[in-house]
Structure 1
C-alpha cells in the first residue's frame, strides 16, 4: 500500500499474547486468527479516515477483500468447534485494536499514524502466518 516503512518508533505489539497462542490448542489458534482478521478488517476499513495517506485505495480494497475471504473460510472451521467460554486472549486482542483506533483518532488520522498502523498490521499478519502454518502442520500429523 505505501512502499517502504518509515523509520518510526512504533506502537506496542502484543508479542506475549502471540507466544501464548503459539502454545494453545489448534481450535483456540483458529479462533484467534479469525478474531484478529476481523479486528484488522475493522481497523483498516476506514476509507473516510484515509484522506491524509497516499495509498492506492484499490489496493486497500483488494487487501480487505483477501482478509475478508480468509476470515470467512476460517469461520467455517470455527463453526465445527464446540462453543467455549470467552478466552482471555479475546479480550486482550480486542483491547489492543481498540487502542490502535484510539491512537489513530488522537493523531487525527495523519499519514504518519496510518504508516504506524500499517507496520503493526504487517507484524500481526506475519505472526498469524506462523500460527496458521503450525496449526496446519499439526492437523496433518
Structure 2
C-alpha cells in the first residue's frame, strides 16, 4: 500500500518538475524575441526618449538585490515587474497621442509574457513551496505606486509625462532582459 503511494508521489513530483522545466524553456526560447519586439514597439510609440529624470528614484538597488536571488525569485520578480508595467500603461494611457496599434501590440506582448511567467511562478510555488511574497516585490509595488502618483497624476503636461513614463519603462524592461540573460 505504502509503496504504491510512494511511487505515485514520485511520479507526480517528476511530472511537476518537467512542467517547471518546460516553463523555463519557454522563458529561454521566447522571452528574448518578445522582449525585442516590445522594446521596438515602445520606441515607435512616440518621439524621442527624454533625457529628463523622473521625480521618483529608479530602484537600482532593488535590481542589484534581485540579481543575487534564486532563479525562482528572479522569475517571480520579473513577472511582477511586467504586471506593474502593463497596469501602468493600460490604466493611464487612454488619452495619449501614441500610435494606438503599437500601444495595443505592446500591451498584448507584455500580457503574453505575464501569463507564461505566471504559470512558472505557480509551478515554482507548487513544486518547491516558494513563499508567495518577497520583500523586493513589495518594494517594486511601492515604486510603481509612487511613479503613478508623482508622475502620471501630478505632472501637468501630458506629453512630457508619457515620454518620461516610456523612458522609465524602457529602462525597466532592458534591465529585466539582462536578468533573463543571466539565467541561461
SS at match of 2:171: helix
Larger Cα-atom Rg:
2
| 2:53 match | 9
For normalisation by structure 2, the TM-score amounts to 0.68
| 1:41 match | 86
- Which segments of 5 or more consecutive residues in structure 2 lack a partner in the other structure? 1-44
For normalisation by structure 1, the TM-score amounts to 0.88
| 2:153 match | 105
| 2:39 match | none
Give the whole-Å Cα distance in 2 for the aligned partners of 1:126 and 1:41: 15
1:58 aligns with 2:101: yes
| 1:125 match | 173
Give the whole-Å Cα distance in 1 for the aligned partners of 2:112 and 2:71: 20
- Which segments of 5 or more consecutive residues in structure 1 lack a partner in the other structure? none
Does the CA contact (< 8 Å) of 1:45 and 1:64 recur in 2? yes
1:91 to 138, 147, 154: 138
Structure 1 runs of 4+ aligned residues shifted over 2 Å read none
How many pairs align? 134
1:25 aligns with 2:73: no
Does the CA contact (< 8 Å) of 2:50 and 2:167 recur in 1? no
Give RMSD over aligned pairs.
1.6
Give the whole-Å Cα distance in 2 for the aligned partners of 1:71 and 1:97: 17
SS at match of 1:4: coil
